[in-house]
Amino acid sequence: MKMYVGGKWIDKSETIDVLNPFDGSVIDTVPRGDASDVDTAIASAERGAEAMATLSGYERYTILHRATEIMEERLEDLGRTITLEEGKVIAEGRGEAARAQETMTLSAEEAKRLGGEVVPLDGASNGAGKFGFTLRVPCGVVAAVTPFNFPLNLVCHKVGPGLAAGNAVIVKPATDTPLSALKLVEILLEAGLPAEAIQCVTGSGSSIGDSLCGDPRIRKISFTGSKEVGEHICSVAGLKKVTMELGSNAPLIVMEDADIDRVADATAVTGFANAGQVCISTQRVLASEKIYGDFIDALTPRVEALITGNPIEESVKVGPMIREPDAERVNDWIDEAVGGGARVVTGGAREGHMHQPTLVADVDPDMKISCDELFGPAVGVTKFSDIDAAIEMANRTNYGLSAAVFTQNIDWAMAFAHRVQSGSIHVNWGTVWRADLMPYGGLKDSGMGKEGPKYAVEEMTEMKMVVIH
């Protein structure tokens, strides 16, 4: 595909191959954009932002709503594109496409709701006779830098609210997975979006990221990706608003009164979806010593039942990892844990991009598979004695994106909700669950700011205060 810069679809002499992670075949190519393309995109997006500012909320709603209708017609193609470039199984590819459409629907609705509030100035000692209210105005040009693992829905979580709020948006999709984002741009343009209000520059983040994120004409950066890149972006951003949606090593706590079959079902789903390449993937299971053995016995056959293979085939449950070095990393960290006394209950092998769904028991919290972000198809289990120990272990990490507890005891559930440092807390389901309308974002090193269209619109606007004297 071409990239969309300066209101035009353009080619470059240098291109990047987009590969199917399952078999390494070339699905398509995209241009290798450079700093001059970023400059063109920003200059054009400034005009796009002016065009957006002349549209009413209702007009922005109409365009986004039309986009959701076109998405509806293309859901199967979008789902297959996601699976082909990203490697998640086709049911998950289709699921992501459907969620992306819902994210755009929610965003369209938010375009109609950009309100302010009356501020009761007469309550101030100097406020008698004054009338005050707030207005929310677009930031201007928003940069949306997105990861490989949800190549459509996470782009929609930035583009939808960004446009709903009246901004122009420049998308820098992950180099491994640019096609879904480019297809979204096609849809938005067909839906009648002003030609310069969206831009999509393909190219390597390490070579064009600084020209984009450091440019003062960009007024807002919305980034989803690794902590390392997020920190780097913050260091070059200068004075602009930033939202950071970063990684984690999500804990799932199993209290002694939990329904073990349900926990095992939830762990098999939330630890292995997208081959574990989900920011909120269940990575650390912390199980009460009273049910530790029973839980491992219940989980083992469920992990063994996860068929690996070509993700485009309906029967396959776990596909390849995005890159071979990522699969190697997962394997190395498991080996390191085993070297330190942990035990592989099932799985453990790797071939190319494919890593077997793996269950590791007797994990020490200081092992890499517990304390760093693994981002692969393996779950480690650690034993705890009581709830205080469980909460301490859950919090013994710099991350805090999603956490789960299984218990029938409401006091334990509430203690967990209050004391575990995590952006989302799930009671009686695993760490991977999201409704696209809910506020979503991490604490600590997992980032700052919230997504979910209603909340993202706040992040993508500035507040003004008007005083009538």
Interacting residues with ligand NAP (CB under 6 A): 145-150, 154, 172-175, 204-206, 209, 213, 224-226, 229, 232-233, 245-247, 279, 373, 375, 401, 442, 447
Distance CA 256, CA 271 (A): 20
To ligand NAP, the closest distance from the beta carbon of 186 in angstroms equals 19
To ligand NAP, the closest distance from the beta carbon of 325 in angstroms equals 11
Contact between 343 and 41 (Cβ < 8 Å): no
Nearer to ligand NAP, 62 or 226 (CB): 226
To ligand NAP, the closest distance from the beta carbon of 269 in angstroms equals 17
To ligand NAP, the closest distance from the beta carbon of 49 in angstroms equals 21
Contact between 148 and 322 (Cβ < 8 Å): yes
Q: Give, for 189, the enclosing helix (H) or strand (E).
A: helix 179-190
* Assigned token pair, 457: 């619109």
To ligand NAP, the closest distance from the beta carbon of 256 in angstroms equals 31
Nearer to ligand NAP, 232 or 290 (CB): 232
Backbone angles phi, psi at 168, to 5 degrees: -95, 145
3-state secondary structure of 115: coil
To ligand NAP, the closest distance from the beta carbon of 224 in angstroms equals 5
Outline where 260-323 has alpha helix (H).
Answer: 260-270, 292-304
To ligand NAP, the closest distance from the beta carbon of 221 in angstroms equals 9
To ligand NAP, the closest distance from the beta carbon of 151 in angstroms equals 9
Contact between 376 and 277 (Cβ < 8 Å): yes
Q: Say which DSSP state 318 is in.
A: B
Residues catalogued as catalytic:
245, 279
Distance CA 150, CA 354 (A): 19
3-state secondary structure of 134: strand
Nearest residue to ligand NAP, scored by beta-carbon proximity: 209
Distance CA 342, CA 443 (A): 29
**Tokens 């485009």, residue located:** 312
Q: What is the dihedral of CA 182, 185, 186, 189, to 10 degrees?
A: -160
> How many residues does the structure list for the chain?
469
To ligand NAP, the closest distance from the beta carbon of 201 in angstroms equals 10
Instruction: Give residues with Cβ within 8 angstroms of 450, minimum separation 6.
Output: 243, 423, 439, 440, 441, 456, 458, 459
Contact between 153 and 1 (Cβ < 8 Å): no
CB-count burial class (<10 Å; 0-12, 13-18, 19+) for 56: exposed
Instruction: Give residues with Cβ within 8 angstroms of 60, minimum separation 6.
Output: 52, 108, 111, 163, 164, 166
Q: Say which DSSP state 221 is in.
A: E
Distance CA 352, CA 131 (A): 66
Looking at the DSSP bridge assignments, the partners of residue 169 are: 142, 198
Q: Say which DSSP state 150 is in.
A: S
CB-count burial class (<10 Å; 0-12, 13-18, 19+) for 263: buried
Distance CA 145, CA 169 (A): 10
